[in-house]
Amino acid sequence: MLSLALMSLAAVGTAQASALLDPQNRLHVGVSIVDAPSPVGLGIGFDSRLTRVISMDIGGFVSPVPILPDVKGLFGADGYPGYFELRHGLYITPGFRIPHAQPRTWAFDFIARLGGGAVWIANTDPERAGFQSTNYVVTATPAGIAGGEALVRFGNIGVRLSGKAVGFTASTDSPPDHWFLFRSQWGLEGFYQW
């Protein structure tokens, strides 16, 4: 009986707390840039507030334009892992909003994120057998993602600048080898909040 009373009291407290927190959902779309020399791509996602400081962002980025055939490895000719380029990704990243005072006429936020997802990487090694022009192998692999974003909003519309460090494994069959690599992904997006 006592536990039933405590559960109903907690439910009332939860309902009152959620009534004070108006929903905050953001649809964001814009350009994304992954590690050079990959060309500019598209980023899209949906961010929703769970509490006053915790939010969840679900989205992705895609680089549909092929990498040019004269691509150079990021770590030089002797660094084979430099030929693995981040192309596309899907992610789920919980975020922690850094609390701060807001101006009256506009709003801004800083959010730190840590999560994971799946990324597609391209093997652009020109020495690889069968490599011709933009004919590179693209493979999917799990990834860990850490980053952050800064948002500025006027009314329901705003701008979002984001940066992510993406960690993933890459491997080759011949010769058999594998590496854990980090690549960056940057985004500049507009968003609509409701």
The answer to whether the beta carbons of residues 49 and 69 sit under 8 Å apart is no
Q: Which of 179, 177, 157 is nearest to 169 (CA)?
A: 179
Q: In this predicted structure, what is the pLDDT of residue 155?
A: 92
Count of Cβ atoms closer than 10 Å to residue 76 Cβ: 9
Distance of CA 141 to the CA centre of its chain: 15
Per-residue CA distances from 14 to 21, 43, 51 (Å): 11, 35, 12
Domains of the chain: residue spans and CATH: 22-193 (2.40.160.20)
pLDDT over 50 at 66, yes or no: yes
Tokens matching residue 151: 């948002």
Distance of CA 119 to the CA centre of its chain: 10
Per-residue CA distances from 146 to 66, 156, 184 (Å): 26, 27, 10
Residue 17 DSSP SS3? helix
Average pLDDT over all residues of the chain: 82
pLDDT over 90 at 16, yes or no: no
Q: In this predicted structure, what is the pLDDT of residue 77?
A: 46
Q: In this predicted structure, what is the pLDDT of residue 135?
A: 65
Q: In this predicted structure, what is the pLDDT of residue 54?
A: 95
CA distance 27 to 45: 6
Mean pLDDT, residues 27-41 taken together: 84
Mean pLDDT, residues 182-188 taken together: 91
Q: In this predicted structure, what is the pLDDT of residue 2?
A: 47
pLDDT over 50 at 153, yes or no: yes
Mean pLDDT, residues 138-155 taken together: 95
